């Protein structure tokens, strides 16, 4: 029950305050998915790291995250890195250790994911350009 309340509060703060502000920052990394119901682009600020032609990040709410549900419906995504958009295909990687993965990602975002996350899930985006 406590995790459910924490998830709801975190989600509310992210959706109403943090995400709208972060989307406006030109250097903020964004994940763009296609809304599974609306078909409209959905942009989510997040932290992650590019390794070769892959971009890795960790979802703090796993398959309960709206963007993960969108990825499951359509894995074709775009990622904005340092102000430049890249096309890619997203893959959920449940066999990857998300706690270990967070150690290799930007620490500020990783702290938030570790602190507020209740169902961590690693995600890899294979970048095509």
Extract the runs of DSSP E, i.e. beta strands, from 6-65: 30-34, 41-45, 49-51, 54-59
- Looking up tokens 């994911």, which residue turns up? 113
Residue 125 confidence (pLDDT): 98
Per-residue pLDDT of the chain (129 residues; tens, 9 = 90+): 456 765 565 555 555 545 444 544 556 789 999 999 999 999 998 889 999 999 999 998 899 999 999 999 999 999 999 889 999 999 999 999 999 999 888 776 676 677 677 789 999 999 998
Residue 45 confidence (pLDDT): 87
Q: Could you tell me the CA-to-CA distances from 108 to 4, 8, 52, 91 in Å, in that order?
A: 24, 22, 22, 24
What are the DSSP calls for 96-113, one per residue? S-HHHHHHTS-HHHHHHH
Per domain, the residue ranges of the chain are 2-127
- Euclidean distance between CA atoms 97 and 88, whole angstroms: 22
Q: Could you tell me the CA-to-CA distances from 70 to 51, 54, 102 in Å, in that order?
A: 23, 19, 22
The CATH number assigned to the domain with range 2-127 reads 2.30.110.10
């Amino acid at each position: 029950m406590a995790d459910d309340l924490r998830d709801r509060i975190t989600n509310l703060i992210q959706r109403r305050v943090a995400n709208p502000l972060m989307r406006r920052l030109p250097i903020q990394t964004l994940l763009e998915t296609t809304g599974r119901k609306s078909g409209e682009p959905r942009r989510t600020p997040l932290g992650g790291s590019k390794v070769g032609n892959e971009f890795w990040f960790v979802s703090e709410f796993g398959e309960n995250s709206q963007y993960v549900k969108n990825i499951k419906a359509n894995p074709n995504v775009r990622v904005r890195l340092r102000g430049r958009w890249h096309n890619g295909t997203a893959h959920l990687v449940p066999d990857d250790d998300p706690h270990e993965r967070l150690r290799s990602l930007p620490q500020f975002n990783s702290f938030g994911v570790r602190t507020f996350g209740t169902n961590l899930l690693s995600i890899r985006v294979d970048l095509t350009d």
